[in-house]
C-alpha cells in the first residue's frame, strides 16, 4: 500500500474542496464550507494562478490525502498570514489513511517543490492540537507576531508556525501522471 503522489492541477478543484473539509477540521465540528464562507479563500479557484501549488496522494487508486499552499494577501484576513510572499499551507489525510506516513511523504515533497518558489511557508494550527508536534518534526517553528488569532471554524486559539525552505534540485517520486484520468 505505497502512496503515489500527483500534482494538484486546476482541473482537480474538487480534490481541494473535498480535502479542505478535513484540513480545517470541519468534520470534527459538524460544519460544511457553506456554513463558513470565509474559508473559501483556501480553495476557491485553486490552481488558476501561480500562487497555488499542491500535491495529492493515491493509495490503491483511492484518494488518501492532499497538501497545498496558497499565497494570500493581508486583505484576505486568513489565519496563518505572515506576509504577501509567504504562502499558507493546508494538509488533510482522510481518516482511513492516517498514521501511515502519507502526510509526511506529501509534505516533504511539497517542501522540495515550494523551495523552488518561496523562502518560507506558514501554517495555522489550533493551539492544543497534536499536529503541532507533526509540524515541529518537519522543521516548523512558532511564529510570534504578538497577537492571538482565533480559528474561523470554532473560535479556538490558533498558533502560526513557519518553515524556512531550502533551495534544492526538484526530484519527483513519480512522473506517471496521466492527464486523461479523472478523479470523481
- Helices (H) and strands (E) in the chain — how many of each? 4, 8
As a whole number of angstroms, the longest Cα–Cα distance in the chain is 48
Which pTM does this prediction carry? 0.85
Asked if residue 57 is part of any domain, the answer here is yes
Asked if residue 154 is part of any domain, the answer here is yes
CA separation, residue 2 to residues 61, 118, 122, 153 (Å): 11, 29, 28, 33
Asked if residue 171 is part of any domain, the answer here is no
Q: What pLDDT, in 10s, does the model give residues 88-109? A: 999 999 999 999 999 999 999 9
Return d(Cα 83, Cα 181) in angstroms, integer.
Answer: 37
Asked if residue 169 is part of any domain, the answer here is no
Asked if residue 31 is part of any domain, the answer here is yes
State the total domains in the chain.
1
Asked if residue 71 is part of any domain, the answer here is yes
- Give the domain extent around 28: 4-164
Asked if residue 170 is part of any domain, the answer here is no
Q: 3-state DSSP call for residue 125? A: strand
Q: What pLDDT, in 10s, does the model give residues 162-172? A: 999 988 666 65
Q: What is the CATH number of the domain that holds 150?
A: 3.40.630.30
69: left (phi over 0), alpha (psi -120 to 50) or beta: beta
Asked if residue 97 is part of any domain, the answer here is yes
Amino acid at each position: 500500500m505505497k502512496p503515489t503522489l500527483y500534482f494538484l492541477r486546476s482541473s482537480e478543484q474538487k480534490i481541494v474542496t473535498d480535502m479542505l473539509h478535513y484540513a480545517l477540521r470541519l468534520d470534527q465540528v459538524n460544519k460544511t464550507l457553506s456554513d463558513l464562507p470565509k474559508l473559501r479563500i483556501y480553495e476557491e479557484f485553486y490552481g488558476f494562478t501561480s500562487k497555488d501549488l499542491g500535491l495529492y496522494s493515491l493509495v490503491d487508486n483511492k484518494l488518501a490525502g492532499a497538501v497545498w499552499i496558497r499565497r494570500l494577501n493581508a486583505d484576505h484576513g486568513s489565519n496563518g498570514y505572515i506576509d504577501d510572499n509567504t504562502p499558507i499551507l493546508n494538509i488533510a489525510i482522510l481518516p482511513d489513511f492516517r498514521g501511515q506516513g502519507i502526510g509526511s511523504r506529501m509534505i516533504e515533497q511539497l517542501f522540495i517543490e515550494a523551495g523552488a518558489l518561496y523562502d518560507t511557508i506558514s501554517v495555522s494550527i489550533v493551539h492544543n492540537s497534536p499536529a503541532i508536534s507533526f509540524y515541529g518534526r518537519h522543521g516548523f517553528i512558532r511564529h510570534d507576531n504578538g497577537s492571538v488569532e482565533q480559528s474561523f471554524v470554532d473560535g479556538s486559539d490558533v498558533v502560526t508556525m513557519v518553515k524556512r525552505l531550502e533551495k534544492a534540485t526538484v526530484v519527483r517520486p513519480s512522473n506517471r501522471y496521466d492527464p486523461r484520468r479523472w478523479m470523481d
